[in-house]
Structure formats: structure tokens, C-alpha cells
Structure 1
Amino acid sequence: MATFVLIHGGGDSGWSWHLLEAELRSRGHETVAPDLPSDHPSAGLGDYADAVIEAVGERRNVVVVGHSYGAFTAPLVADRLRADVLVLLAGMIPAPGERPDDWWEATGCNQAREAAGLSAIEDPFESFYHDVPRKSAEEAMRRGREESSRAGGEPWPLTAWPDTPTKFIVCKDDRFFPPEFFRGLARERLGLVADEIGGGHCVALSRPQELAELLVGYLRD
């Protein structure tokens, strides 16, 4: 049995993982999916990591999963918990000393989004939730929260990537981050060939069963 530690993305909440949690628990695993203190303007990346580690408690055999902006927190948690596996799901891979606010230009993400025509999609039901059932998408929007400005302006604190086996998952139908952009970033920053799953940016709500199978497969690897 493993404990899957699920770290949500920017402006989101732990609720976004509830369907995936049910799938993982039905396979005999534990899950922890806390709300980050991202709605507190004074909270920084270290505070995000502290909140996750407090929620994990004494649990071991940990797999850390960071979605989207959660990729800035997930490696901090994996490093401190000595996780068995670190998974970035459509994750914003940070570099040492890089501020989240600077990531978009530093990685070329803004240009990639514009070239793919994604920057013109302003409706979140089309960019984030286009393949999520409408009721779930509306609930996710209702639960949306502000993101701490302090966290966005802080340099990422690690001096190197943690010594943790790492996986990257591209969502093939992502309408927020271009899939080809993430394939390239995973190669450049982590030396990884990304795994892929069908579905949009919020695949934990649109394809939880498929995502659970992929994550559990990493335990066998």
C-alpha cells in the first residue's frame, strides 16, 4: 500500500482530486489531498510545503503528485519526505532560483500558448474544463481561490532537483498548456520522455480511472 500525496494547482483546492482519491482507495491505497494555504497573501512556497507535510503526518511509502502550479511545491515535499516517486501532472517544472511569476517567459510558455492559439481561449470552461462534466466543472469554479502573491514572487528554493525517481504526465488534449511544449520542457529540464494520458488540463476530474491506473503503474516500475 502506498500513500498518494496529491497537490493541487493554482487557484484550486484539494477537492479537485476527490474522484481520483476514490479510484486510488478502491485499489487499496491511502490518499492525502490538502488545501494549500494559497488564499493567504502572506503564504510562500515553504508554507505550501509545510501544509502538505503536516497533512501527511507519519505516513510512509509516499508518492507525491503535483498538478500544474503544484509542481513548484511537489519537489519540496518529495525531498523532505524522501518520497518513493514524484509525479508532475501537466506540471510547471521549476528551475533552481526561478520565481513562479517568471516561469512563463523563462520557459517560453507564453509564446507556445500564443503559437498554439490557446492564449485566445478565455472561458475556463473551454480552457481548463472542456472535457469535465459540467456539474463538476461548475463546482470546481465555485471552489476556486485566489493565489498568494508572495508565493509567485519567491525564488524556488532548491539548488537541484531532488534525488527522487520522477515522472511527467502530459495531458494530450490540454487547452491551457500546449502538450508539445510540455514534452520539450520535460526533456530539457528533467531529461525525461513524458508519459501521456488523454484528456484536458483537469484530467483528475475527467478521467480519474485512467489516471489512477497510470499512477499505480509507477509503483510497479
Structure 2
Amino acid sequence: MATYVLVPGAGGGVWVWHRLIPELAALGHDAIAVDLPTGDDRAGLTEYADAVVSAAEGVEGAVIVVAQSMGGFSAPLACARVPVGLLVMLNAMVPLPGETAGEWWAATGHAEARAGQAVREGRTPTEEVDLLVDFFHDVPPEITAEAMAQGGTAQSGTPFGQPWPLPEWPDVPTRFLQGRDDRFFPLAFQREVVRERLGIPVDEMPGGHLLALSRPVELAARLDRYRAEHGL
């Protein structure tokens, strides 16, 4: 049995994992959804990492950290502080030492990649982010309706302005899993970013940016396969 520590992206909250957790349990594993202090302007990357560390500390057996989207900035910080058997980057942002999350967008060419994806899909590119179009396009309607009714989780801008503090990537086995239908972080864009910054391949599966909501069964199976491949 392994324990999956699930780190959400910006404004994601613990709810984003609610469909995945029972699927991991059905495979015999525990899962802890990390509650990041996203609404606290005093909290930055250190405090986000503290929350991940608190979730991982004291866990018996293998710990696998799964970092969604902006969770890619905080989860590696926690992996440098507690024993982690595997870090899975899920449609995630990959930081460079000293880079802020706010700088990441221009540094990676994200706007151009997102616009190009829209054109390829026959949509009109826009700078404005549309939650339904960019994030929930492949999430079941009833789950999308529930998410919209909740109104989302507040996200402070504080962590976006703080330089990523590690001098290099932590010494932990790392896998990168990307939804091939992600409109916000297109697959080809992520392949290039991950190749340049981590030097590892990008695995892919069907689905968009919110795989834990749109394809929880398939995602749980892929995470369990990673666990087995790494002997955890």
C-alpha cells in the first residue's frame, strides 16, 4: 500500500481530488488531499511546502506526491525536506531556480502555445482565461455544475511573486504525466518545457487539464502503474 499526497494547482482546493481518492482506495491505497493556504496573502511557497510536508510526515510506507499545475512550484520543495518515493508532475508547471511563477508564463512562451492550441482546435484565441473552455471542457457536466456552484477557492498572488528557492531539482524520482487534450498547457508545449528543464520524457493520457475530475479511473490506474514501476 502506498499513500498519495495530492497537491492542487492555483485555487484548486481539496475538492479537485474528490473523484480520484476513492479510485485510489479501490486499488488499496491511501490518499491525502493537501489543503494549501491559497487565500492567505501572508502565505507563499514556503508555507505551501509546509502544508505538503505536514501531509507527508508520519506516513507509513511509500509516499508518492502528485503535483497538479502550479503545485509544480511547491511540491518539489516538500520533496527536498521529507522522504518521498516518487514525485508525479501532473499537467504541471516546471520551475527553474530563481524563477517566479509570475515569470514562468513569458519565459516558457505559454501565451503563444495556448493561442496556437486554440487555432488548431478551431477556436478564437483570447488572452482571458475561460474556466469552462480552458479547464472544464472535458469534465462531466454534473461535476462542472458542482464546481461552478462552489465558486472556486481564493488564490492569493503572493506565491506567484516569489523566486523558486531550490538550486536544482530535488533528488527524487520524477515522472511527468500530461493530458493530451489540455487546452491550457498544450501537450507539445509541455514536452518542450519538460525536455529543457527536467530532461525527462512526458507521458500522456486522454483528457484535459483537470484529469482528476474528468478521468479519475484512468488516472488512478496510471498512478498505480507508476508506483509498481518504481517498486513502491
**Pairwise TM-score range, normalised by the shorter structure:** over 0.9
| SS of structure 2 residue aligned to 1:25 | helix
**1:13-58 Cα deviation digits (max 9, x unpaired):** 1111111111111111111102200111111001011112223330
| SS of structure 1 residue aligned to 2:178 | strand
Q: Tell me the amino acid that sits aligned with residue 44 of structure 2.
A: G
CA distance in 2: counterparts of 1:143 and 1:28, whole angstroms: 32
Q: Which runs of 5+ in 1 are unaligned?
A: none
**1:61-107 Cα deviation digits (max 9, x unpaired):** 11000000111111112221221000100000011111000000011
Q: Is 2:157 the counterpart of 1:132?
A: no
Q: Which residue of the partner structure matches residue 165 of structure 1? A: 173
Query: Residue 81 and residue 140 in structure 1: after superposition, are their counterparts in 2 closer, same or farther (change >3 A)?
Result: farther
Query: Residue 143 and residue 12 in structure 1: after superposition, are their counterparts in 2 closer, same or farther (change >3 A)?
Result: farther
Q: Is 2:181 the counterpart of 1:180?
A: no
CA distance in 2: counterparts of 1:117 and 1:92, whole angstroms: 20
State how 1:53-132 maps to structure 2 within 5 Å: 53-60=53-60, 61-117=62-118, 119-120=125-126, 122-132=129-139
Deviation of the 1:143 alpha carbon: 4.7
Q: Which residue of the partner structure matches residue 2 of structure 2? A: 2
| SS of structure 2 residue aligned to 1:73 | helix
Q: Which residue of the partner structure matches residue 49 of structure 2? A: 49
Task: State, as a whole percentage, how many aligned pairs show the same letter.
Answer: 47
Q: Tell me the amino acid that sits aligned with residue 139 of structure 2.
A: V
CA contact (8 A) 1:64 1:77 kept: no
CA contact (8 A) 1:63 1:87 kept: yes
Deviation of the 1:195 alpha carbon: 0.6
Q: Which runs of 5+ in 2 are unaligned?
A: 120-124
CA distance in 2: counterparts of 1:150 and 1:160, whole angstroms: 22
2:159 to 135, 151, 157: 151
CA distance in 1: counterparts of 2:194 and 2:27, whole angstroms: 29
| SS of structure 2 residue aligned to 1:74 | helix
Deviation of the 1:201 alpha carbon: 0.6
CA contact (8 A) 1:13 1:143 kept: no
Deviation of the 1:170 alpha carbon: 1.2
Output the aligned Cα RMSD.
Answer: 1.4
CA contact (8 A) 1:70 1:92 kept: yes
Q: TM-score, normalised by structure 2?
A: 0.91
CA distance in 1: counterparts of 2:129 and 2:158, whole angstroms: 25
Q: Which residue of the partner structure matches residue 17 of structure 1? A: 17
CA contact (8 A) 2:57 2:82 kept: no
| SS of structure 2 residue aligned to 1:212 | helix
Give the paired residue count.
221
Deviation of the 1:116 alpha carbon: 2.4
Q: TM-score, normalised by structure 1?
A: 0.95
Displaced runs of 4 or more, over 6 A: none
| SS of structure 1 residue aligned to 2:19 | helix
